Structure 1
Amino acid sequence: MAPPPAPSPPVYVNPCVPSPCGLNAQCQDIGGSPSCSCLANYMGIPPNCRPECSINSECPSNKACMKEKCRDPCPGSCGAGAQCSVINHTPVCVCPSGYTGDPFTNCYLKPVIANEPVETDRCSPSPCGTNAQCTDGTCTCLPEYQGDPYSGCRPECVLSTDCDRSKACIRNKCMDPCPNTCGQGARCDVVNHIPICSCPEGTSGNAFVECRAVPPPVVTQPCNPSPCGPNSQCREINGQAVCSCVPGFLGSPPACRPECVVSSECAQNEACSNQKCRNPCPGTCGVGARCEVVNHNPICSCPVRYTGDPFVRCQPIRKNPLTADIPLVQKNPCQPSPCGPNAQCQVSGDSPSCSCLPEYQGSPPNCRPQCVSNSECASHLACIKQKCQDPCPGSCGVGAECRVVSHTPNCICPSGFQGDPFIHCTIQVADDQIRPTPCSPSPCGPNAICREQNGAGSCTCLSDYTGNPYEGCRPECVLNTDCPSNRACIRNKCQDPCPGTCGQNADCQVVNHLPSCTCHPGYMGDPFRYCSIKLQEEPNIAQEDPCKPNPCGSNSICREVNGQAVCSCQPNYIGSPPGCRPECVVSSECPQNRACISQKCTDPCPGTCGLNARCEVINHSPICTCSSGFTGDPFARCFQIPSM
């Protein structure tokens, strides 16, 4: 009698292929069952893993949403010697007392002029703030600056969050980051200030270099053609295509992208160099000079008691002992020059007249070359010899094509050619097994984690969550009323809403969960923006004006009616005097489906999610998910699920 046939070995089926965990999550095979967890830097529970933030209003008022993280926007935002404070997510730069200049570039000591003849000039001393000019006592902002000229003008933007979501802050201007960012044949879409490059349907390749038509498949293989998208690698495991991003790229397929393509994607004290966020200072300034990074750009200056061209060399200031005691018959106002480095001084009517040297730009004493780092040039140019120039000539090999992507020349061989495009192009002649645990399937409720303990599953709430882990855990708060009266519910935590909410020289007090701002005693202005010292007015004995001084408080209007002061709030402010305030300063003041953006309760969805994704506002935060029949990263782009 023949022996029975040997049983065939069981066929291993990976429960993580395809992954049931959703986007931004990782799957592990535990005892034949999938175990899901969110990727690093993502929060929530699968399949609803999301970044820490996608808009500013999801962060505390003294933080800004930068690269999907709540960070301090001050480093690198202000100029040398300036002070920075964060007000409603925006860095505000001011020069300290006794200093003057552009706080976004450089603050320097106010010059002390002795024995100056007294003249009646309405512009001396100037009543204007920084970056403003005075004409017969009237202040106006300098070109390309905006704001209140009497308190201070600022550039169009300092952070990308100052711009519409379809633009990025590039060289203090809200601009479209797409031009010259993506490769040949690629399409560019701006999602939440960031350019997203992708190959159109029917093409493939590195979207940051070149997209080419997909050749017809010769052999049916799961990785040929690759379903993983650009900048990714495909591995065949048990007949399934497993996708991952190539080293040096971030995200998850099919939305793998480099660390940066424009400087606005980096921290303010870094610049995008060769698709990496790096410190632009090393090797930029001259010998003995100091370097500070302001808004992605390296700013060079000579230290105190040093002089010279900070882009070449700084040397100590030496006094001439031979001329120290010689009385001057007529002092030359240009000796020593008050104009600063890279500037020339001319005498005009016994007064110095300063102008920048040729090939330098700006205004004295802040004359500087056209560029010192790539981030100061347009994306299709590079900083070569302190000039913004095309980096392509001489970069590529014979027969290669050159295209500039994010200041960097990219060389490729044309279609039908092969070889090293930087030299010459010629014509083309198994997984470790994990033992099963009692946590699969998990006996825990939502927002709880399971750990094996004495052969059984033990449930505990996730960090920052409370409740019964076997039924479900909840965050510390969802509404303001879940918190004490001196706290507000911000990002599901009971926090002090004051930091970063009020302007300079203002006090903050929490009243019924809401921050209330008032100017310091002796100061006046908008406490949500800036308070300045009150000017003492001479008493008018002949006729008393009930509106002088204004009894109505800040952000209010006073009108005289029958000799009485009648108070009302300014347009776009709510409440009643003296408690007029903006519509909102924190998102908890808005309905649950709105977020506080620029002191207005606004729908945070427009421009937040990627292509083919839908947006739903939950607890002031935009939640992005792929539409039915689509898959991908909803914060970048969703792709249609191919039919099997």
Structure 2
Amino acid sequence: LANCRVINHSPICTCRPGYTGEPRIRCSLIPPPPPPLESPPEVNPCVPSPCGPYSQCRNINGNPSCSCLPSYIGNPPYCRPECVMNSECASNLACINEKCRDPCPGSCGYNAQCKVINHTPICTCPEGFIGDPFTACSPKPPELVPPPVHDDICNCVPNAVCQNEVCVCLPDYYGDGYVSCRPECVLNSDCPSNKACIRNKCKNPCVPGTCGEGAICDVVNHNVQCTCPPGTTGSPFVQCKPIQNEPVYTNPCQPSPCGPNSQCREVNHQAVCSCLPNYFGSPPACRPECTVNSDCPLDKACVNQKCVDPCPGSCGQNANCRVINHSPVCSCKPGFTGEPRIRCSRIPPPPPPQQDIPEPPANPCYPSPCGPYSECRNINGGPSCSCRPNYIGSPPNCRPECVMNSECPSHEACINEKCQDPCPGSCGYNADCKVINHTPICTCPEGYIGDAFSGCYPKPPEPEQTVIQEDTCNCVPNAECRDGVCLCLPEFYGDGYVSCRPECVQNSDCPRNKACIRNKCKNPCTPGTCGEGAICDVVNHAVMCTCPPGTTGSPFW
């Protein structure tokens, strides 16, 4: 599947379009890209809502979109009702249930007329009607007998009487006897905020029986609020009981005297310290099995704070792996050639000699004497070796910038064989990232709470608490308090007082024969990853599909 051209007496081989490989050996069809790994579950940016009170949040392409609820005005996070007090409405309206409305409906009696003056409904009987306009107006009866003529007729309004030729409002009515006499109140807003309008009078609604036994009754904005006084507990609408004074209990494990990576247990009122599982040493100096490669034997490497064999998944097909000074060194098996970290192919037999045709000069670069990660050029019949771009060293010892984290500065990690900052993309929204010993540590900044690996949101104001718990552990996110000790939640690792992180955030946190999938180190070779009958291998965290010997076709179909 290769094309051949003769240039200056020499055959030049190239792969046909759509094919790749070593044209002097074999060209293979370029495989389609592997299917993308399943993405992690989408984080809902509206939980909790960042939009403030009286608002609604919608998830638009992974971002929160805030708007005020219907019937509320302003812009998030400052949505507010139309009104709270009468003065926020026009003079012919009143603030009723946080909306500016006409206060007349339901305020006056039957057949009465209503007029709003300065937010207050004024009720009067129409011409030809008499009675209490706040109760009912009835047609004025015809005058049967002319009353005796008095020179002191007052012509008073309803709910007023004539006293000494002066119109005076009746008891419990207020106003001008010649204009309007109205009761003390019609709406709650006619009363002070600590009273309510009850039967046209401003009264304290906190009457006996409104709240439960022993509860405190307060009036806030005309409404009753029942609360239990300090030192009591229960339902303020049923009964408040005194809190029983229990003997003060002192937890010897609060705070823990055991140091990091340890656990504290209370035995006979004494603190007993021990190291957490998979940690070594004695409190307060508990430590993981390793933190750097030098903590392990020369044939092991430190991965996720454990000494493990670095070979699995490091070398390609048909390659051998040796561990030298904690690092995997790959080489092709005898009779094979190629890039040992990717795949080694069998060295093809030399072509049979052809008679009467002069044998072309031997290519000093085939097979290459330059070693891995190098390129060879034919210079006047001799090989000229150099390292490939982005590789360092000198042939035959060319190598990538790094293979493991320990080959990078402590504030960087080995990602795609280069020392890079591991923070980008490792932490959640609004989280801070700090690199400690090649590992990104995610924390929520001051004033924010949440899971730092998913997203941090502003800390809501703390409600007033009537009972103060004195045994709070002050654990970090993804940790919980058990018997006065902060422990990381299941599937999270670290120190419950410093940082609890998932098993992995990026592929370099896992062994090379596994990948970081949903924050766990898993084998990415799941059913359906490669085609039917194909072999699935994991090399440097990535899937490689190949057809087994004796078969042909696309390993991806």
TM-score (norm 1): 0.44
Matches within 5 A, 1:595-614: none
Cα pair distance change 1:222/1:99, threshold 3 Å: farther
1:140 to 383, 386, 395: 386
2:413 to 157, 168, 175: 168
Q: CA deviation at 1:22?
A: 1.1
Query: What is the letter of the counterpart of residue 385 of structure 2?
Result: C
For 1:57, what is the secondary structure of its paired residue?
Answer: helix
Q: CA deviation at 1:125?
A: 4.6
Aligned to 1:302: 547
Q: Percent identity?
A: 51
Supply the distance in 2 between the matched residues of 1:77 and 1:278 (Cα, whole angstroms): 16
Aligned to 2:430: 185
Cα pair distance change 1:247/1:52, threshold 3 Å: closer
Supply the distance in 1 between the matched residues of 2:372 and 2:313 (Cα, whole angstroms): 19
Answer yes or no: is 1:260 the counterpart of 2:507: no
Supply the distance in 2 between the matched residues of 1:209 and 1:40 (Cα, whole angstroms): 27
Aligned to 1:214: 459
**Relative contact order, higher structure (CA 8 A, sep 6+):** 1
Aligned CA RMSD, in angstroms, stands at 2.3
Answer yes or no: is 1:103 the counterpart of 2:340: yes
Q: Deviations over 1:25-77 (max 9, x none)?
A: 11111222111111111111111111111111111111111111111111111
**Does the 8 Å CA contact 2:263/2:485 hold for their aligned counterparts?**
no
In structure 1, the gaps of 5 or more residues are: 1-7, 313-644
Supply the distance in 1 between the matched residues of 2:453 and 2:551 (Cα, whole angstroms): 45
Supply the distance in 2 between the matched residues of 1:180 and 1:223 (Cα, whole angstroms): 38
In structure 2, the gaps of 5 or more residues are: 1-244, 354-358
For 2:495, what is the secondary structure of its paired residue?
Answer: coil
Cα pair distance change 1:184/1:90, threshold 3 Å: same
How many residue pairs match? The answer is 300
Matches within 5 A, 1:529-548: none
Matches within 5 A, 1:21-100: 21-100=258-337
Supply the distance in 2 between the matched residues of 1:195 and 1:159 (Cα, whole angstroms): 15
Q: Deviations over 1:565-587 (max 9, x none)?
A: xxxxxxxxxxxxxxxxxxxxxxx
**Does the 8 Å CA contact 2:390/2:400 hold for their aligned counterparts?**
yes
Supply the distance in 1 between the matched residues of 2:469 and 2:320 (Cα, whole angstroms): 57
1:280 to 524, 528, 534: 524
Cα pair distance change 1:146/1:97, threshold 3 Å: farther
Aligned to 1:329: none
* Bigger Cα Rg: 2
Query: What is the letter of the counterpart of residue 249 of structure 1?
Result: F
Aligned to 2:6: none
Supply the distance in 1 between the matched residues of 2:281 and 2:402 (Cα, whole angstroms): 32
Query: What is the letter of the counterpart of residue 487 of structure 2?
Result: S
**Does the 8 Å CA contact 1:204/1:229 hold for their aligned counterparts?**
no
Q: CA deviation at 1:263?
A: 0.8
Q: CA deviation at 1:230?
A: 1.6
For 1:264, what is the secondary structure of its paired residue?
Answer: helix
Q: CA deviation at 1:123?
A: 2.9
Q: CA deviation at 1:141?
A: 1.7
**Does the 8 Å CA contact 1:233/1:246 hold for their aligned counterparts?**
yes
Aligned to 2:488: 245
Q: Deviations over 1:303-326 (max 9, x none)?
A: 1111111122xxxxxxxxxxxxxx
Aligned to 1:229: 476
Supply the distance in 2 between the matched residues of 1:163 and 1:54 (Cα, whole angstroms): 14
Supply the distance in 1 between the matched residues of 2:367 and 2:259 (Cα, whole angstroms): 63
TM-score (norm 2): 0.51
Q: Deviations over 1:121-180 (max 9, x none)?
A: 44345322123221121101222333332x243333322223222222222232221111
Q: CA deviation at 1:302?
A: 0.9
Supply the distance in 2 between the matched residues of 1:75 and 1:41 (Cα, whole angstroms): 22
Supply the distance in 1 between the matched residues of 2:494 and 2:362 (Cα, whole angstroms): 64
For 2:553, what is the secondary structure of its paired residue?
Answer: strand
Q: CA deviation at 1:234?
A: 4.7
Q: Deviations over 1:78-104 (max 9, x none)?
A: 111111101111110111121101111
Aligned to 2:173: none
Answer yes or no: is 1:128 the counterpart of 2:128: no
